[in-house]
Amino acid sequence: MFDNIGLLTLAPVLNVQLLLDGLFIGAIFVLAAYGLALVWGVMNVKNLAQGEFVIMGGYLAWHLSTLGIHPIASLPIVIAIMFAFGWALYVLIIKWVVSRELFTSLLATFGIALVIQQGLNLAYGPEVRTAESGLTTHALFGGIVTVAEIKIVSFGLCALLAATVILFMKTSRMGQAIRATAQDARAAKIMGIDTEQVYAFTYALNAAICGAAGVLVSMIWVIQPFYGIPHSIRSFVIVTAAGLGNIPGVIITGLGLGMAEQYAGFVLGAEFQQATVVTLLVLVLIWKQIQAARHRQVVQ
């Protein structure tokens, strides 16, 4: 089970490979998790369809690439489509869920997730896909460490997207409205903010961010209709561990999760990679609960 652990000490360069891969993957996790933190914090919707949005974005990029559009060029198109899709979902379903009890949003978005993944399965079949970017792979340290150019490009795009979103939230009129609504929806309403529209925009923005993350996933990794659930769980792990409204926390946890997953996959075996994510979720929740129990004790 731990056969590979010796390998890591014998060839320390392998650590570089794992850390780099974890970093590149983790950057994408950060994007999706930030979207979740946004809808969770602003409208109190626990979006279980997060991973499905990612995979859907990936499939859109893949589909466009079969039509001859390069995946990177398809990024703005996918963002626009996913934004519209998110807005439509909000008007059709999420609107009725926002003010309801917490379990409602969880189960309703689970239903959405089911529809999306099965719809993708019907449309594209269960094969594992990758959108080819056509960029080369560089070998470092005499071929032990390989770095695909596309991974670096994707990392850069991730940083660019994240910076854009954060700037947007900080400076633009809509961003201010979103933050005001997150602080106190009723007060925001009294101040003349159309909270209904803010909610719709937030949900659509989340779908767009996830879609962009999906494009990157389809380029540097693989997509398959049923790969959405792990992505959703990763988002939940990151957001529960980092807390809402904590952007540096989300970034650090996301990158850390990416690396932890790479190490677990290497040391324990590829079949444990998924189990690691889910087990981490349970552990994070246990840790949260111990904290809550301590808090209650203090109150007593």
Partner 1 sequence: MNSDNTLPSQSAAGSTGAAKRLIAHNADRTPWYVYAAVLAFGVAAPFIFPAYTTQIAFLWMMILFALTWDIVGGQMGYNSLGNIFFFGAGMYISAVVQVGLFTDVATYTSARGGEQLVLDYGDFFFSLGLGTIVAAVGCVILAILLGLIVLGLRGPYFAIGTLGVALSARELAGTWELIGGGSGIAMPVYPGQPDEKSLVFYTAFLVLAILTFIAVRWLYSTRFGLAINAIRDDEDKAEAMGIHTMRHKLAAWSVSAFFLGMSGAIFGNMTGFVEPLEVAFPVATFGIFMVVMALLGGKGTLWGPVIGATLFHIVKEVTWTYLLGWQWVALGLLIIVNVVFFQEGIMGWMQRKWPERFGITVDQRMSASQSGKEGGQ
43 near partner 1, rule: CB under 8 A: no
From the list 219, 229, 238, 257, which residue makes contact with partner 1 (rule: CB under 8 A)?
229
Q: Which residue, 167 or 275, is less far from partner 1 as judged by CB?
A: 275
Looking at 167-175, 191-199, 215-223, 271-279, which segment touches partner 1 (CB under 8 A)? 271-279
How many residues at the interface with partner 1, by CB under 8 A? 43
- Restricting to residues 66-125, which ones interact with partner 1 according to CB under 8 A? 93, 96-97, 99-108, 110-115, 118-119, 121-122
Residue 128 touching partner 1 (CB under 8 A)? no
CA angle (27, 87, 45) in 5-degree steps: 65
Considering only the stretches 9-17, 20-28, 127-135, 229-237, report the one whose residues sit in contact with partner 1 under the rule CB under 8 A. Answer: 229-237
Q: Considering beta carbons, is residue 67 or 190 the nearer one to partner 1?
A: 190
Binder among 73, 140, 293, 295 for partner 1 (CB under 8 A): 293
For residue 4, state whether it binds partner 1 (rule: CB under 8 A): no
- Closer residue to partner 1 (CB): 104 or 176: 104
Is residue 5 involved in binding partner 1 (CB under 8 A)? no
Q: Which H, E and C letters describe the chain, residue by residue?
A: CCCCHHHHHHCCHHHHHHHHHHHHHHHHHHHHHHHHHHHHHHHCCCCCCHHHHHHHHHHHHHHHHHCCCCHHHHHHHHHHHHHHHHHHHHHHCHHHCCCCCHHHHHHHHHHHHHHHHHHHHHHHCCCCECCCCCCCEEEEHHHCEEEEHHHHHHHHHHHHHHHHHHHHHHHCHHHHHHHHHHHCHHHHHHCCCCHHHHHHHHHHHHHHHHHHHHHHHHHHCCECCCCHHHHHHHHHHHHHHHCCCCHHHHHHHHHHHHHHHHHHHHHCCCCHHHHHHHHHHHHHHHHHHHHHHHHHHHHC
Judged by CB under 8 A, the stretch of 27-35, 55-63, 70-78, 270-278 that binds partner 1 is: 270-278
Nearer to partner 1, 10 or 122 (CB): 122
* CA separation for the pair 151, 165 (Å, rounded): 21
CB of 231 to partner 1, least distance (A): 13
Interface with partner 1 (CB under 8 A):
46, 93, 96-97, 99-108, 110-115, 118-119, 121-122, 229, 233, 236, 240, 269, 271-272, 274-275, 278-279, 281-282, 285-286, 288-289, 292-293
